[in-house]
A and B are shown apart, each in its own frame.
Chain A
Amino acid sequence: MERIPILRMGEFLLVTIQVDMHDRLALALQEDLTNQIAHSRSHGVLIDISCLDIVDSFTARLLGNMASMARMLDAETVVVGMQPAVAITLVELGITLEGVRTALNPEKGMELLRAALRARSNEDGHAL
């Protein structure tokens, strides 16, 4: 079966969704990503949705689920590259993607992830 690739980039996992996903493919991604986080012990996930020209309620729920699952596995998630028309549509749909961290582009997303990880290691430092 067709799959969305998950790349490992140093300490982070990178997912670039480049196809119009049908629901099964989207659910497979959710499962693959959770497995990959556990397997790679990554603490950060970057999901690039710049190629998605629509995000409907199903995909939005999926993004939220992936972020929640990642959090439970001790990883931060940042969704990057949302198209402005998609943002407008989501808000009118009544979806705010609460609990999902977003950034304008992959570079800003990486910065966010690094900052989150730094803050986390500082906290660990204090605890010691």
Chain B
Amino acid sequence: MHSEVRDTLSIVTEEDSVRVRQVTREKAVEAGFNLVAQTKFVTAASELARNTLKWGGGGTVRFEAVDASRGRGLRLVFEDHGPGIPDVELALTDGFSTSSGLGMGLGGAKRLVDEFDIESRVGVGTKVSITMWR
């Protein structure tokens, strides 16, 4: 599988999260996703950008074009150096998040995309990547 970084954005303010949604939409259109796939992917990106900001204390998102035997796709990698998630399984459960949203953030994002991967270490940070194939 081949992947190529297309862009990196920082997520430090709420306005940055809006920008992440807009850029994700542009890339999803470029990647040739249909409207429903675009909408799901942008929504997942929005949930993850909010998590990066709110729980991670800010971070970055990297946009990658991926090319694999199954076809072409778009991958977003969200990374923060926040407190990390002690129990990832629990965090993926609906209703987990306490302060805002419906507690659908992480688990919801996972359901909306083709591939979802999370690595988190307490005291080090969290990295979440989502991929959608065309």
Partners in one complex: yes
Interface residues, chain A, with chain B CB atoms under 8 Å away: 20-24, 53-58, 60-61, 83, 85-86, 88-89, 92-95
**Would you give the shortest CB distance from A85 to chain B, in whole angstroms?**
4
Q: Collect the chain A residues with CB atoms within 8 Å of residue B103's CB.
A: 57
Asked whether A54 and B36 contact (CB < 8 A) given A20-B18, A60-B102, A93-B104, the answer is no
Chain B residues with a Cβ under 8 A of chain A:
14-15, 17-18, 21-22, 25, 35-36, 38-40, 42-43, 46-47, 50, 94, 100-105, 107-108, 111-112
B15, B22, B43: which contacts A56 (Cβ < 8 A)?
B43
How many inter-chain residue pairs (CB < 8 Å) link A and B? 73
A92 / chain B contacts, CB cutoff of 8 Å = 40, 111-112
Chain B neighbourhood of A88, CB < 8 A: 36, 39-40
Q: Are A22's CB and B100's CB within 8 A?
A: no
Report whether B42 and A94 are in contact in the complex, using a CB–CB cutoff of 8 Å. Answer: no
Are A61's CB and B39's CB within 8 A?
no
A20 touches B21 (CB 8 A): yes
Complexed CA–CA distance, A23 and B20 (Å): 14
Given contacts A22-B17, A58-B100, 7 further A-B contacts (CB under 8 A): A20-B18, A22-B14, A23-B50, A56-B101, A57-B103, A94-B107, A94-B111
Contact among A24, A53, A94 with B39 in the assembled complex (CB-CB below 8 Å): A53
CB distance from A74 to the nearest CB of B (A): 26
Q: Which residues from A are CB-within-8-Å of B112? A: 89, 92-93
Point out the residues of chain A lying under 8 angstroms from B14, CB to CB.
22-24
| Contact of A89 with B18 at beta-carbon distance under 8 Å, contacts A53-B25, A57-B101, A94-B111 already known | no
Known: A22-B15, A89-B112, A93-B112. A57 touches B40 (CB 8 A): no
Q: Is the CB of A54 within 8 A of B111?
A: no
**Alpha-carbon separation in the docked complex, A22 to B18 (Å):** 6
What's the Cα separation between A57 and B40 when bound, in Å?
A: 12
